[in-house]
Structure formats: structure tokens, C-alpha cells
Structure 1
């Protein structure tokens, strides 16, 4: 695996790169946001470890810009910012996982392997349930032929609901799929995203196709 590390602290950069290489992977370091935003850290690499507080350009803005240009390389955010709002902003911008400094190196390596396995799977490029059509390649949802703009988080939620349409998707499943296995944020965050998603998907429908199953989770039911 080719890993790119975007980190301006030379001590952390050296330690992480050494550990990644000892785990059998290649690792290249970039130390500022301006260098990174030209796509070099993302194109040609299998995974990126991205600090947020970088000289030149903030890591969150880098992530937003590259996702907006269709770059889908998996990204693990590695940062000292540890609040729930910080995590939500990163996941909404397109992060695949989030680790707060200080961190255990063994955990970081485990996350690298887990994110790579999860994102390197090659599922069907499209999902279709009733009038809902989800293109996994270009990250686009259409409802009855009309494009629906989704945030990266909303897209991930919709993908999971469509894969398990007619079945209950638990909150645990959502947390693992959307935010990573360590998500410990407030449970109402899920409901906030779900309500926003309903508002976009259910326009023109008399009844929402995303049902809340009390005490269990959610289910996508399309006639």
C-alpha cells in the first residue's frame, strides 16, 4: 500500500512514516497544505493520513476541495482537534476516519488497515431501489430521474440504507459505516442527518421512504 502523510510536525511525521514502513507499506511525507492541494498527495496513493492544522492551507479545506473535484482516495484525519463538532465537520467534508492526538501507533496502523480494506472493496457501481438510483462511481443520487445533491455523510447513509433496503439498519451499523468503529458522538447527530436526508429524498412523497424503527434503527421502504 502507498500511504501519503500530510503532517508539518517533523517528529510525528518521522514516527508515523517509520511505523507505516515497518508494517510493510510505502510512505511519503508532505509538510504543508499548499503543496498538498495540487492533488499529489491523493493521486497515485492508496490512502492519506491528513493533519488539519497545516501551514499554507487548512487540512479541512484541502479535503473539501479535493472531494469537490471527485478525488475519492481514503483519508484518515490525524489531529489535535478532538471536539465532536470538529469530527462532524471532517466527516461531512469526506474523511473516512478520525484519530485525535496523542494517539497509540498500533491503533493508527490498525485504522489504516481497516480503512483500506473497507474502501478498496469493489461493490456494484450502482444501486437501484424503486425510483432511487445511486451511482457509486460519481457519488450521485437521482430520484425519479431528478438529481439530488447530498453531502458525503448523507451519501454514505443513503448507500447503506439502499444496500439493506427493506431491512433494519441499526445505529451501530450506521456509525461503523459512516464515522468509523470508534464513533462516540451524540446519538442525535444520526437523527439530524437522517432528517436532512428525508427532506431531500422525500420531496413530492406523501409518506417518507426512510422509516424510524423505534429502539432499533432505520429502514428504507420503497413501494
Structure 2
């Protein structure tokens, strides 16, 4: 049976010993965990994440991370089985609110949430319904492969943009000035992305090395 593009298929998760519809739990979760740290526009189910000013904040990332960390530390059973997460000790160290690099980690985690919201309502295929917990789990799934994932993603995207602009410059005979301007902007973005990766690499000292590397 086919479904209309963008239709959200309901999923249930276990929270506080009850099975809860994800459609319903988005608002409930946000009211419980997001609203105290982000009182305005706190409901992710209706928040316009296409607008940059509505990007997830470090405070929101911290609140979501604390829920996941609590589940990991207490071995709480959820339908998203956290017990199967690879490199869990590294993830716990990353989410640790007492980490000396906690502000940097949470800014980065907020960016990761922004990236993975593409699996929610802002794209045609809606998997998470903007649920903060599931959005975070997608981000952490990438980070179990390498804690540098999102900083490397910024570098890769900037390099890809530069490559495509260069192709455009070579292929076009008009508007070259416009494309050279975009090239300069992209090169600056790449510089910032590489600096961000360097910052990440300098802040790995309190995160255990990965137990599982590769597939």
C-alpha cells in the first residue's frame, strides 16, 4: 500500500513505563524537557526549522543530552534500544555535563540536531516528526563512528561547494564575477570549518578512544 509523500508513519516509544505514540510524545517531550530551557517556541512539532533563528540551541541540546545520558546510565528500556549503541562510553563522556569541554560539545550537538532535523518535517520524507529524542539518536548514531563526524561534515560540504563553484566558473562565459565572489565566501567557510575541526580535535582528551572502529 502506498502512502502520500511526506506522510508520517506512527511509531511508539517507551517512556516512563508507558508506550507512547511518537506523534503525541513530541509535544509532551518538548513541554517537559525543552520548554524549561527555551520557553518561547518550545514545541518542535510546530517550530519552523527552515528559519535559522529557530535552530536548536545549546541549552536544548543539553536538555536532550541529559535525557539520553540518564537512560544510558540507568539502563532504562526504550523502544530505541540504547543498550546496543556502539562506543557507548565515548558517547557518555561526550554528553557528560561535567566535561571541561561541555560548552563546546553542546554547541556541536546543537548543530548535529539541526542537521538531522532533515529527517523530520522540514523534508519531504518525515521519519522523526521532529521528535528531539529520535533526532538526537540519529546524530549519535553517526557520532558512534567518530566524534569528529559533524566537524568533518562541515569541511566536506565546504570543499564540495568550492568544487562545484569552480566547475561553474570553468563552464560559464558570463556572471564570472558573481561566481568568484561566491568562491571567496566558500573558501572562507572552508577555513572556518577546518578551524572548527581543529578545535574538536583539541578537545578529545576526556573522551575514551572508540572500542569499535569501522563496520
Normalising TM by the smaller chain, what interval?
under 0.3
Greater helix proportion: 2
TM-score between the two structures when normalised by the length of structure 2? 0.27
TM-score between the two structures when normalised by the length of structure 1? 0.27
Q: Based on CA coordinates, which of the two structures has the bigger radius of gyration?
A: 2
| Greater RCO (CA < 8 Å, at least 6 residues apart) | 2
